Structure 1
């Protein structure tokens, strides 16, 4: 089965970084993939792909008009004559859907979070099979986009393969180091985290030297977040540490992981943190609503986010033993649910359904 796999960009982030595992599973199931990206953006995902031994084609060397991507992809599909077009992220899905209709090729599309572009709903019927990266996204496809259940399968993007395990837990002495890993954009809601830290230190100024927060990643809000940190006088406490070439190494420096997102799908970074045994503090969005269980596997951020985070910080300093309790329970939960065996089984089920779409099936 020949697959033309199209992604929107080679930008660094969870979606692109999960590609090697997805492509290997497809290959194990007998698929032959040619990977393309509409544009490079920061190109960090492309570096990861090359390091993992995967080649790819760029439809354009820089951000271009969607018509440019469409023209190039139609040419590519007509030349390659694939059995299936498989897309990931909004722009790639739009290009793939139109190309599939024009060239008579079935289309399979990922959906990775419960927040889509208007055209995703408009063109949703042009995708023959939707792949949700989590049950929450499956519900969104069915209830919000109106996709029939028989045209949806779930393949959780996360696979717990990290060999790393947190070797110690903060016990209330020394500095508590919190952190997060992700794009500096509106979705991740880091401004609320910054304001919550400011409120906490205003109420407990004696903790100022005992709390440190590191936010790893880059994105369009970097300057505004740095300005907020400076305006609130938190430059000695909160640091934007930039892109991390080794995310696991960064996570191992933390005592707890924070994810105050407005919406998510799978949320790979938070699950990777849990797989290491890091206690996670998160809003109940996407798959985190199921993985981070209040008083069992993590700390749930309620609304309003700033007040809830401030209360959680108070609780951490009053009851540091909960970090180890939740961290160990979260590790057991994630490693069992998102094992290699479960990841491959879900992928094989998707490939079997795709084969059923083909005319010769």
Structure 2
């Protein structure tokens, strides 16, 4: 098959990290695949991701369609032009803008489209064009449920293909991880970015509540902060928060708390923090939560469909019933009193990631999707052949 793979951008995400492995499956099975990117090259890519893309896409034709960001109309024109000049057997789309442009162009030119759905947002963008794609690929079980319940896509038209690829460095390091024993300060890990102000506020207030019951909190807890390298603007909100009034007063009570910052090296962060605390879940964070679990770290976060599954009924961490400073303070206090649980839940999290996101499952699902595409092409060829053959009529004399 000749396949065009259309994406919106190369910005760091689970979808992009899995791209080399996805293309490799198609390429090794003898299919011709070309990659088209709607946005200009990204200003920043983590070194490991850049290396992975360069090595993994060596045999794949890749092209950025624009040098500056364009609107939907321009994207549709560009995609339509490519499909006309070099029509593929299938167009695969990934990410919102690419999916919308690909669905419209493919429908107009009668080229079959397969669409990825990452996450459970943007319902209004996909509801009206859901039938423009022959079938959908959900990146998680939660996304599959979303496509069925919200977008009303039949179950038979959805494949679940988890995109997370556990980094080998974290898998190997987790086997030798030294867990907190309760004899030194508990290192709370927090990943800061421009998108999680609610998490920052909740964490500051939770630590202030803990301070009331733990006068020597600075001897029991330290804070390890990492800054998401993909974020465009690093704000030191925990040391100089964009907060006012009582929030600033809460922070002032924590001046004696030891705060350590890590910039640009998330692997170091995952291996040195004892617990990852992200009380307000955002759509940008699944990757980081998974990587913490890969490294053998339990997670404290808020309810979200995919996290309900990942935390496995509390075996791999703690799922707060809501984003509440009081509940977060209670959860941290519980871990302070039961250090053995950090080891147990951290090891459970690591084992769950290895079992759920292994290479064999990834490849087998890819093969099933390719088989589905081949079946669709074969059915269309048979239909065209049938319609091209004139019907034979027999006259009885």
Q: Same fold (TM over 0.5)?
A: yes
1:302 aligns with 2:321: yes
Shift of 1:95: 0.8
1:360 aligns with 2:372: no
Q: Is the 8 A contact 1:158 1:266 kept in 2?
A: no
Q: Is the 8 A contact 2:281 2:303 kept in 1?
A: no
Any idea what SS the aligned residue of 1:335 has?
Answer: helix
1:334 aligns with 2:353: yes
Residue segments in structure 2 that go unaligned for 5+ positions in a row: 383-397
- Please list, as runs of the form range in 1=range in 2, the aligned pairs for 1:70-109 lying within 5 A after superposition: 70-109=76-115
2:392 matched residue in structure 1 = none
Distance 1:194 1:148 in 2: 44
- Please list, as runs of the form range in 1=range in 2, the aligned pairs for 1:1-361 lying within 5 A after superposition: 1-39=1-39, 40-44=41-45, 47-54=50-57, 56-116=62-122, 118-160=124-166, 162=168, 163-166=171-174, 167-180=177-190, 184-185=194-195, 189-201=199-211, 203-208=213-218, 210-217=221-228, 218-219=230-231, 222-223=234-235, 225=237, 227-228=240-241, 231=248, 232-233=251-252, 241-244=262-265, 247-262=266-281, 264=283, 267-358=286-377, 359-360=380-381
Shift of 1:140: 0.5
Larger deviation: 67-76 or 36-45? 36-45
Cα–Cα, structure 1 residues 258 and 29, in superposed 2: closer, same or farther, change >3 Å?
farther
Q: Is the 8 A contact 1:264 1:286 kept in 2?
A: no
Distance 1:356 1:266 in 2: 36
2:390 matched residue in structure 1 = none
Larger RCO of the pair (alpha carbons < 8 Å, separation 6+)? 1
Distance 1:181 1:350 in 2: 35
CA offsets 1:197-228 (integer angstroms, 9 cap, x no match): 34434553421353213133143675494653
Cα–Cα, structure 1 residues 264 and 50, in superposed 2: closer, same or farther, change >3 Å?
closer
Residue segments in structure 1 that go unaligned for 5+ positions in a row: none
Any idea what SS the aligned residue of 1:10 has?
Answer: coil
Any idea what SS the aligned residue of 2:216 has?
Answer: helix
Shift of 1:80: 2.2
Report the aligned-residue RMSD: 2.9
Shift of 1:133: 0.8
- Taking structure 1 as the reference length, the TM-score comes to 0.87
Q: Is the 8 A contact 2:193 2:234 kept in 1?
A: no
Q: Is the 8 A contact 2:196 2:282 kept in 1?
A: no
Cα–Cα, structure 1 residues 295 and 151, in superposed 2: closer, same or farther, change >3 Å?
closer
Q: Is the 8 A contact 1:13 1:183 kept in 2?
A: no
Q: Is the 8 A contact 1:172 1:317 kept in 2?
A: yes
Shift of 1:52: 2.7
